[in-house]
Amino acid sequence: MGDPGREEYKIQSFDAETQQLLKTALKDPGAVDLEKVANVIVDHSLQDRVFSKEAGRMCYAIIQAESKQAGQSVFRRGLLNRLQQEYQAREQLRARSPQGWVCYVTFICNIFDYLRVNNMPMMALVNPVYDCLFRLAQPDSLSEEEEVDCLVLQLHRVGEQLEKMNRQRMDELFVLIRDGFLLPTSLSSLAQLLLLEIIEFRAAGWKTTPAAHKYYYSEVSD
């Protein structure tokens, strides 16, 4: 998880001053304001879809570095506080910036994927992540291909982990997804295909069979 090349690559999308701040946070976290670092990473994640998909790796590296150096969790606390603030204002974010909303969901799922306590996902993130995915499964979101794509991508990434944490909520989420697929009103053909693929993916134990992969991905590429 701590591949220096990967960290350097992601940092390149920042200005020179911020690059230096993040490099220092990764190598000598005690030398910088870690709450500021958390805000910088969240702000950038809400604006950059590519970065939001990988930011969890950087956050994990900073948390590990801080814990090793000082045995503290200032960065993690700042990160979770900021995630909570954005979570509480998620409807306003979606209304203001659909792209920012998709970036936020991608980012919080990425953080859930990487951050661990005693080698287990953070319980504090389970319900917020579920709530975001439930929002993406509402009819108005299912009519937007970008939100359907986000929903399916995140379920591919963290669905199996989430189900282990709360099977009942996953069952409820897939009722919404099936209803959305079976009662299409303004769903595009691509959205229907993506929803069917994720339904089959979960039914197969969160795995893609070779036949399903060939079918769905040849359809998508066509």
Name the residue with tokens 């359907």. Answer: 148
Residue 126 and residue 110 in one domain: no
- State how far the alpha carbon of 131 is from the alpha carbons of 45, 87, 151, 170, 187, in Å: 19, 9, 12, 11, 22
What span, in angstroms and rounded, lies between the C-alpha atoms of 8 and 22? 10
User: Is residue 221 situated within a structural domain?
Assistant: no
Q: Are residues 31 and 80 in the same domain?
A: yes
56, 84, 116 — which closes off a domain?
116
| Per-residue tokens: 45 | 């994640």
Q: Are residues 21 and 111 in the same domain?
A: yes
**Quick one: 67 and 141 in the same domain?**
no
User: What does each of the 222 residues of the chain score in pLDDT, given as a tens digit?
Assistant: 444 444 454 677 789 999 999 999 999 999 999 999 999 999 999 999 999 998 999 999 999 999 999 888 999 999 999 999 999 999 999 999 999 999 999 999 999 999 987 788 889 999 999 999 999 999 999 999 999 999 999 999 999 999 999 999 999 999 999 999 987 677 899 999 999 999 999 999 999 877 776 776 665 555
Show which of 116, 141, 170 is a domain's final residue: 116
Contact 121, 115 (CB under 8 A): yes
User: Residue 141 sits in which domain range?
Assistant: 122-216
Q: CA-CA distance, 35 to 168, in Å (whole number)?
A: 35
Q: How many domains does the chain have?
A: 2
Q: Are residues 25 and 109 in the same domain?
A: yes
**pTM for this prediction:** 0.89
